[in-house]
Amino acid sequence: MTTTEPMPALLEAYFADLDRALIGTDPREHAETVQAMREDAAEMLNRYGASEETAERVIADFGPVEQIAAAATPAPAAPSDPARSWADIWLLVGSIIGLVYFLFPLISVAMLIWAIVRLRRHVGSRALQKGALWVSGLAVFCAAFFFIVRFSSFW
């Protein structure tokens, strides 16, 4: 149930304070808490009248916003920088080897495909994967360029 009726300014200020106090708590619980308290306040205002005295009574029943925020569940910790997986490290090493030995373009093509697959799956270290993608792409380009130059010299 959503409430659209205007509330007294005192209650709006209370809910604004509550919203600020709940920053850093579980987002779902934050939204549910504020919504449930707004619904309770709307019921009490409908029952006792939308006056400043009723608003003060509602706030007294709810208690201080700090107490409500202290009882809320903290937000889950944001995932830290993903650990560099060995797969991504070997992907980058393989890409560099493919660039150094661009005469064997299969290594570079394999690393290029592997980098694309890992990037699309959203696993591992994106920085290492992007680096491997660029190095592999450069190696494939060099191999193709020198193949074309070599092939055109035969004619």
Task: In whole angstroms, give the CA distance from residue 68 to residue 26.
Answer: 13
Q: Both 92 and 66 in a single domain? A: no
Average pLDDT over residues 99-116: 84
Q: Both 44 and 97 in a single domain? A: no
Q: Both 26 and 67 in a single domain? A: yes
Task: In whole angstroms, give the CA distance from residue 38 to residue 63.
Answer: 14
Q: Look at phi and psi of residue 150 and say left if phi exceeds 0, alpha if psi is from -120 to 50, else beta.
A: alpha
Task: Give the chain's domain count.
Answer: 2
**Using an 8 Å Cβ cutoff, are 121 and 91 in contact?**
no
Q: How many residues does the chain have?
A: 155
Q: What pLDDT, on a 0 to 100 scale, did the predictor assign at position 103?
A: 66
Tokens encoding 141: 């380009």
Q: Has residue 141 been placed in a domain?
A: yes
**Cβ burial 33-59 (10 Å sphere, 16+ → b, else e):** beeebbeebbebbeeeeeeeebbeebb
Q: Both 93 and 67 in a single domain? A: no
Q: Has residue 128 been placed in a domain?
A: yes
Task: In whole angstroms, give the CA distance from residue 127 to residue 107.
Answer: 20
pLDDT over 50 (residue 1): no
Domain containing 15: what range? 9-71
Q: Has residue 81 been placed in a domain?
A: no
Q: Has residue 79 been placed in a domain?
A: no
Q: What pLDDT, on a 0 to 100 scale, did the predictor assign at position 37?
A: 92
To the nearest whole percent, how much of the chain has pLDDT over 70?
Answer: 89
Tokens encoding 3: 């409430």
Q: How far is CA 109 from the centre of its chain?
A: 32
pLDDT over 90 (residue 38): yes
Q: Both 15 and 67 in a single domain? A: yes
Q: Both 136 and 111 in a single domain? A: yes
Q: Both 65 and 112 in a single domain? A: no
Q: Has residue 20 been placed in a domain?
A: yes
pTM: 0.48
Most trustworthy range by pLDDT among 31-40, 66-75, 79-88, 95-104 = 31-40
Q: Has residue 3 been placed in a domain?
A: no
Tokens encoding 33: 């808490």
